[in-house]
């Protein structure tokens, strides 16, 4: 005669071991992926910038300031347009800086911010508001564009 409690105990034991093992495996996988090493994952140290639409007008991209983080001095946004993606920040009442948002390392869109730094979500390169590399792996600066401000609109010259 078989003892029905033995298979159940083995089953429970194995289920417990499998759960623990899979939990440890997932913990290892997720800890390895933590902190923005994934191209789509957020960086643990950065917040995501707000996104606004830029309007392509000839050889310029126009960005309306009202209703975005650019309404305040110190604010910055990611601008999406038919001409590409840009990071625009406001350094003063009429002082804006526009740089290309394509990371010079491997081409991810730089969409994070930590303090006054832009942060790439892929490998955490950091750039200052002028697009200068502060921390790699990127080694080249983001391209800066001239811009002007009038009537509540930032105009980026391409
Ligand atoms: S693509 Fe690697 S740091 Fe931006």
Give pLDDT, residue 1: 41
pLDDT tier for residue 46 given thresholds of 50, 70 and 90: confident
Contact 135, 141 (CB under 8 A): no
Question: Which are the contacts of 79, defined by CB distance < 8 A and separation ≥ 6?
Answer: 51, 52, 53, 54, 61, 63, 85, 86, 87, 88, 98, 101, 156
CA of residue 103 to ligand 1 center, whole Å = 6
SS3 8: helix
**Can you tell me the distance from the alpha carbon of 122 to that of 119, in angstroms, rounded to the nearest whole number?**
9
Among 125, 131, 135, say which to mutate for ligand 1: greatest number of ligand atoms within 8 Å of CB: 125
pTM (predicted TM-score): 0.73
**Can you tell me the distance from the alpha carbon of 154 to that of 148, in angstroms, rounded to the nearest whole number?**
6
**Domain spans of the chain, in order of start:** 1-33, 47-157
Q: What is the pLDDT of residues 97-135, one digit of tens each?
A: 999 999 999 999 999 999 999 999 999 999 999 999 999
Helical segments of the chain, H only: 5-33
For residue 108, give the ligand 1 atom closest to its CA.
Answer: 1
| Mean per-residue pLDDT of the chain | 81
Q: Which fold would CATH assign to domain 47-157?
A: Rieske Iron-sulfur Protein (2.102.10)
Q: Which two structure tokens, joined as six digits, stand for 130?
A: 């002028």
Q: Which two structure tokens, joined as six digits, stand for 117?
A: 């730094």
Nearest CA to ligand 1 atom 3: 123
For residue 121, give the ligand 1 atom closest to its CA.
Answer: 4
């Amino acid at each position: 005669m078989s003892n029905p409690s033995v298979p159940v105990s083995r089953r429970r034991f194995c289920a417990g071991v499998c759960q623990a093992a899979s939990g440890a495996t997932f913990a290892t996988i997720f800890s390895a992926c933590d902190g923005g090493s994934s191209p789509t994952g957020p960086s643990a140290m950065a917040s995501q910038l707000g996104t606004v639409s830029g309007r392509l007008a000839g050889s310029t991209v126009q960005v309306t300031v009202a209703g975005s983080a650019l309404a305040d001095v110190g604010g910055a946004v990611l601008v999406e347009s038919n001409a590409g993606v840009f990071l625009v920040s406001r350094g003063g009442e009429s002082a804006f800086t526009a740089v290309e948002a394509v990371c010079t390392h491997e081409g991810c869109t730089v969409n994070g911010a930590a303090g006054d730094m832009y942060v790439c979500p892929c490998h955490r390169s950091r750039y200052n508001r002028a697009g200068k590399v502060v921390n790699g792996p990127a080694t080249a600066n983001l391209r800066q564009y001239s811009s002007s401000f009038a009537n509540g609109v930032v105009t980026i010259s391409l």
